[in-house]
Structure formats: C-alpha cells, structure tokens
Amino acid sequence: MDYKYMARIPNPEGLKELGVFGKGLLLNHDINNWKFNRQFFVQSVSTLNFLKESVNCTQMVFNEMEEYWRFGLEDDNITDFSEWSHSLTTDIIFQMITGKKTWATASYFLAISRGSKLERLQKFDEKLIKESSKLSKAFQMFIMGMDFFTFFPQWVRSCVPTFRASQKEILEAPNTDRTISDIKDINQEYTEPLTDEEIRGILIEALAGGVDTTANVFSFTIYYLAHYPDIKDRLRQEIDNIFSQKENRSLTYDDLSSLVYCEAVIKEVSRVMATAPFITRFNSEPDSIENIEWGTNTRFLIFAPGVHLNKDYWDVPEKFDVDRFIDEKKQQNGKNLLLMWGGGLRQCPGRRLAMVELKCLIVSVFRNWDIELVDMNSPLKCETSIVRSAKDLKVKIKPRKVM
C-alpha cells in the first residue's frame, strides 16, 4: 500500500507545542503507530453492539433536550439551533465514548432560560453542570487551538500582541476535575496496551470529530429542509412509514436500513455545504502526477466544494436534488466525488457511527417537531477554518401537528 500521501502537515512545530502531533490518528505520520491506533479506534466504534448502543444513547440524550424544549420554549420559541445542536452532540459523543455525562445541553438550557421555568424541571446539580461546562468549553478552546497553532508560526504567536493573547488563552484554558485521563479504560488483556498519550490522542479526536462535524451537518440539514418543504414532507413520509401514528416506540438500529431517503438527504446536504471544505496532503517523497514532477513536501489542496459543485461531475450541481443519490440516472459522473468523509487512507474512521447518529437525530426531530427559520431570506451564517461551522441559526420550534 502506498503511504507517501499520509502527511497532512509538513512542519508541525506549532502542534508539537500544543502537544497533539504524533498522537492518535489525525496528526499521526508514523505509519505503524497510525495503523495500530486506527485498528483500535475502528474496532471500538464500528462494532454492531456499539452502533446499536449509539442509537439508544442518541435518543436518550435527545429526549432530555425535548424536555427543555417543551418547558423552556413554550412562551418565546425563537432559539439558536446551532447552539442546541453543538450542545446535543457534545452530550451524545461524550456519553458514548467515555460513558460520562457532560450536561452540555442542560448547561445551555440554564444559560438561556428564565428562573421561573427551571422550577418545573428536575433539580439540577449546578456545581456538576458548571464543572461539565468548564470541560466542554476547555475542549472547544483546545479544538480552536489546533487551527491557531497550525496556521500561525511561533514568532507570530509570540510577538504580535493579539495573537500572543490568544495563545495564552488557549494554553491556559481552565482545567476541571473531570479530565479525559480519569475516564480512560485499558483492556489489560490487550497484548500491547496503548499508552496514556495514545489513548488521550484517540479520545480527543473521537470527541472532536463526533461533536463539531455532526453538529454542523445536523444544523445545515435543518436549514435546507426549511427551504425545501417538499423534500421535508417526503422525508417525513419515510419516517412515518416506520412508525404507525399511535405507535410510541423508539427507533431501533434495524430501522436505520429503511431510511434510504434520509441518508440521501444527509449526502446532498453534505455535497452542497461541505463541513470540511479543504483536504490537505503532503508527499513524503518525490512523485510524478500528470507528467509533472512534484518534489518532497509539496502541498496538495483538494477543495471539496470545487468537486461537489462541478458540472463536469454532477448534473445541475447548483440544484439541491436529493434524488441524485437515489436515482441511478442522476448519479455523479465518476467515483469518489462525494468527499463528506474525506478519502483514501485518511477517510474518516468514524463514518458509520456518524451516519447512525445523524439518522437518529433527523428522525427524532422531524418525527415530533416542526422547525421553521425565523427569517427565510437570511443566508446561512457560517465560520470556516478547518471545519465549516453553522452560526446563529435562529429558528422557531413547535411540537408537530400530525394530520
């Protein structure tokens, strides 16, 4: 197998300073160590039992959020869905990966709710929620730091006052008693136990990938379905076909295979609004491509929207057309043109888990709730770095009225 395009960053001094380079999978260029860690990760999150449990976990956390919606949004139901989405996926992925509750959704609910409403819900352990909120914010700061330490050299971070302040904030992010190290679990029967640093690296990447990208795809889906009611109605019909009107059962893992249209919606949203717009590779040795010689450490940048919206590859690429992933006549004109999971050796190892989680979230929302944009004419607000993130997605949330 050819590993010459494994590297994502040729000069990782900033990430070494942050302490993340060479750990886990994302920023690991050691082939043998990367293969070992990847096998550990894939075997952990892609087993049938784990995927089935993820369905239960996702619904459990969503049900908790529904309780906040029912009480907290009954008078003024305008809210920022992107914040709910990030809080929700934070709770889900932390619960699944670590077995610990982070209370991110409860923390956000407390932050936006009026005091009188809180009495109608369960009594919160505010100390625990504040501590969990510190962990969540510190983790978000750490992820932001990966961008910062990747793109800005050491002299900029140290000499320019604004950047120096940002560097200090990232490196001195508040600690919490609930650390990732406290929740690691090593199987003592494993022939070659992972070190603490390796486990920490894998956990950080699992949490980062599971929170940010999933939350943004979920938010983008809400936005596009609000603009395409016919597609939303067809999606709901597929969901209603799984559950009878009076049936109050939960979604099961076996139901997911019936959500063909739902999966097509997720893929089309990811095509028109790529959460990871840039895919970067560096070659570890000279190579010849298209009769052009490329020296070592040449940067190859794949711009996902340039592929996703290219008329040479897709029929009417500017059109939001879910059927292109169902109707064979509308299939893309080539292979490996949907880059929602990246590609090659570095393809997202958690893609099965992410798809399971997204299907569960979409079913949970559109089975029981009506979500409308506050301003249909407002463009989708995003911030883009390594990941494209939805921001300030103002919506109205109401219980669904079933005809």
- Asked if the model's pLDDT at residue 43 lies above 50, the reply is yes
Q: What are phi and psi of 279, to 5 degrees?
A: -120, 120
Exposure class string for 5-36: b at 16+ Cβ within 10 A, else e? bbbbbeebebbeebebbbbbbbbbbeeebbee
What mean pLDDT is predicted for residues 49-74? 88
Structure tokens at 146: 């990966």
Return the biggest CA–CA distance within the chain: 70
Structure tokens at 383: 């911030």
Give me the residue spans of the domains in the chain: 13-184+195-399
pLDDT of residue 377: 93
Q: Which of 67-76, 138-147, 332-341 has the highest mean pLDDT?
A: 332-341
How many Å apart are CA 260 and CA 255, to the nearest integer? 10
- Residue 150's contacts (CB-CB under 8 Å, 6 or more residues apart) are 9, 14, 15, 386
- CA dist list (Å): 55 to 30, 60, 89, 259: 34, 9, 13, 14
In this structure, are residues 279 and 301 in contact, taking their beta carbons and an 8 Å threshold? yes
Would you state the pLDDT for residue 222? 97
Tell me what the mean pLDDT of segment 275-294 comes to: 89
Separation in Å, CA 275 to CA 62, 338, 386, 397 = 22, 12, 9, 24
Predicted pLDDT at 186: 37
Question: Could you report the per-residue pLDDT of 101-147, keeping only the tens digit for each?
Answer: 888 888 888 888 765 455 555 556 667 777 777 776 776 676 666 76
**pLDDT tens by residue, 198-219:** 777 777 777 777 788 899 999 9
Q: Which residues pair with 292 in a beta bridge?
A: 289
pTM of structure:
0.85
pLDDT by residue (tens digit) across 216-244? Answer: 999 999 999 999 999 999 999 999 999 87
- Give the pLDDT score at 190: 38
* Class of residue 97 by CB neighbours under 10 A (exposed 0-12, middle 13-18, buried 19+): buried
Calculate the average pLDDT of the chain. Answer: 81
Query: Domain 13-184+195-399's class?
Result: mainly alpha
Residues facing 79 on adjacent strands: 395
Give the three-class secondary structure for 20: coil
Least confident of 104-118, 171-185, 269-283, 351-365: 171-185
Mean pLDDT value of segment 6-28: 75
pLDDT digit string, tens, across residues 153-169 = 666 666 666 655 655 55
47, pLDDT greater than 80: yes
Q: Which of 53-57, 122-126, 366-370, 398-402 has the lowest mean pLDDT?
A: 122-126
